[in-house]
Amino acid sequence: MNIFDKICACMAFVLGAVFVVLGVPGLFTGCKANFALPPILGVVPALVGWGIIKPIIVAWTRPKQRQTVVPTIDRMPPVTEEV
């Protein structure tokens, strides 16, 4: 991951953490934004937050992949016949 990817991942991680923090109490009390969720479905923001956080953790901890050098085959250009 380059520096831009890491900055975006940090911002997304914060957004996901907010969703998780707000979604856990939503499991018991419900959730109200521009729509209202009953107590059991109030956990939906936590699931959305976890869906944001988990891929970031996986991408951040993935070891760098080795760049393999593919040998090139030097070939002569095709011969064109002039008429």
**In the chain, what are the domain boundaries?**
3-61
pLDDT tens per residue across span 41-83: 888 888 888 888 888 888 888 777 766 776 666 666 666 776 6
pLDDT attached to residue 25: 83
Return all residues near 43 (Cβ < 8 A) that are at least 6 apart: 23, 24, 26, 27
Contact in structure between 60 and 9 (CB atoms under 8 Å):
yes
* pTM recorded for the entire structure: 0.53
Question: What are residue 78's phi and psi, to 5 degrees?
Answer: -65, 145
Q: Please say whether the beta carbons of 56 and 9 come within 8 A.
A: yes
Which pLDDT belongs to residue 44? Answer: 83
What is the structure's pLDDT at 72? 67
Instruction: Tell me the per-residue pLDDT of 8-50, one tens digit each, with 9 for 90 and over.
Output: 888 888 888 888 888 888 878 877 767 777 888 888 888 888 8
